[in-house]
Structure 1
Amino acid sequence: MIVSIHQPNFLPWLGFFEKVDRSDLFILLDDVQFEKNDWQNRNRIKGPSGAQWLTVPVRHRYPQIIAETQIDPSSDWRRKHWNAIVSNYRKAGYFDNYAPQLEPIYRQEWERLADFNVDLLKQTLGWLGIATPLRRASEFNVNRTSSERLAVLCEATGADMYLAGAGGHGYLDITPFETRNIRVEFQEYTHPVYPQLFGAFVSHLSILDLLMNCGERSLFILRGAHQPENPV
Structure 2
Amino acid sequence: MKLAIMQPYLFPYLGYWQLMAAVDMFVILDDVNYINRGWINRNRVVVNGKTAWMTVPLVGASQNRLISEIDIVPDNGWKNKMERMIVEAYAQAPEARTVLPLFNRWLKGASGSLSRSLYESIKDVAVHLGIATTIIPSSSVYPKNDLKGQHRILDICQREGAVTYVNPPGGRDMYDTVLFRRAGIELLFLEPNLHVGRLRSGANDGTVLSILDHMLYNPRRLLMDAVASFDLKVA
**Fold equivalence (TM over 0.5):** yes
Residue type of the alignment partner of 1:230: K
Which position in structure 1 is the counterpart of 2:74? 73
The CA RMSD measured in Å over matched residues stands at 1.7
Q: For 1:55 and 1:160, how far apart are their aligned partners in 2?
A: 37
1:168 aligns with 2:171: yes
Contact 1:11/1:208 (8 A) holds in 2: yes
Q: CA deviation at 1:142?
A: 4.2
Which position in structure 2 is the counterpart of 1:223? 228
Contact 1:27/1:134 (8 A) holds in 2: yes
Q: CA deviation at 1:211?
A: 0.7
Identity level (%): 26
The alignment's TM-score, normalised by the length of structure 1, stands at 0.92
Q: CA deviation at 1:75?
A: 7.1
Contact 2:36/2:62 (8 A) holds in 1: no
The alignment's TM-score, normalised by the length of structure 2, stands at 0.91
Which position in structure 1 is the counterpart of 2:84? 83
Q: CA deviation at 1:101?
A: 2.5
Which position in structure 1 is the counterpart of 2:206? 202
Contact 1:192/1:222 (8 A) holds in 2: no
Mark the runs of 5 or more structure 1 residues left unpaired by the alignment.
none
Change in 2 beyond 3 A, CA 1:208/1:109: closer
Residue type of the alignment partner of 2:88: S
1:48 aligns with 2:54: no
Matches within 5 A, 1:1-232: 1-59=1-59, 60-74=61-75, 76-138=77-139, 139-143=141-145, 144-192=147-195, 194-197=199-202, 200-216=204-220, 217-224=222-229, 226-227=230-231, 229-232=232-235
Residue type of the alignment partner of 2:219: G
Q: For 1:106 and 1:75, how far apart are their aligned partners in 2?
A: 10
Mark the runs of 5 or more structure 2 residues left unpaired by the alignment.
none
Contact 1:164/1:185 (8 A) holds in 2: yes
Q: For 1:109 and 1:123, how far apart are their aligned partners in 2?
A: 13
